[in-house]
Structure formats: C-alpha cells, structure tokens
Amino acid sequence: DQQVKQNSPSLSVQEGRISILNCDYTNSMFDYFLWYKKYPAEGPTFLISISSIKDKNEDGRFTVFLNKSAKHLSLHIVPSQPGDSAVYFCAASERRTGANNLFFGTGTRLTVIP
C-alpha cells in the first residue's frame, strides 16, 4: 500500500499565481520529507526538504509546510513560472532509524499557463 500519497494527478495555474501541491503520508515514523521535480526524459531532481522538527522551510520561491498531526505536507510555489511546469514528487524517509531509502508518491503534474 502507498505510504505516501499525492491525490491530485494534475494542477494548472496561471503564471504569477501561487501553486499549491499536496501530499499525505501514513507512516508516523517518517521524519524527513522531500520534494522532487521531474521534467520529461530526465530523472527527478531534488527541490526542497523539511525535517519533522520543523513545520516550514523556505527556499526562494519554494516553501514546504509540514503538518505532523495531519500527516500532511504541501509545496507552495510563488510566483509560479512557466519553467515550473513539471511533475512534482513528494518523498519521505525514516532518517532516525538509519534507513535512507525514500518512499515516493505518484506525482502531480503542474502546468503553469503563460
């Protein structure tokens, strides 16, 4: 069963507006969360991460929010740009147990309309 879920397969946003991508997880042992971005014919590339000791991490236009009680995280992109159009994967791991494998969601395809 999927331990990391992205329930929206696609999202379209106007250029300049905010994009919000959502992710839910079921394993309460997860303590490190990441977002990856994937362009066609390329491998996923790391975008931003957050540890479970924080509830927010910001890097330029990208902010990740973590709600541990709801087992939910989200990625905000402000302002959205056409170059942000890609598939975004949410991932999680149990760093405190020493395991470093990542569990991924099924991805959300973001389209930013110029």
**Chain positions contacting other proteins, by CB under 8 A:** 2, 6, 32, 34, 36, 41-46, 49, 89, 91, 93, 95, 99-107
Nearer Cβ to other proteins (15/106): 106
Nearer Cβ to other proteins (61/95): 95
Minimum distance between the CB of residue 20 and other proteins, rounded to whole angstroms? Answer: 19
Q: Which residues are CB-neighbours of 22 under 8 A, at least 6 positions away?
A: 6, 7, 8, 72, 73, 74, 108
Minimum distance between the CB of residue 38 and other proteins, rounded to whole angstroms? Answer: 8
* Whole-number Cα distances in Å, 37 to 28, 29, 67: 24, 24, 21
Contact 27, 92 (CB under 8 A): yes
Residue position matching structure tokens 């056409």: 82
Minimum distance between the CB of residue 9 and other proteins, rounded to whole angstroms? Answer: 9
Nearer Cβ to other proteins (16/46): 46
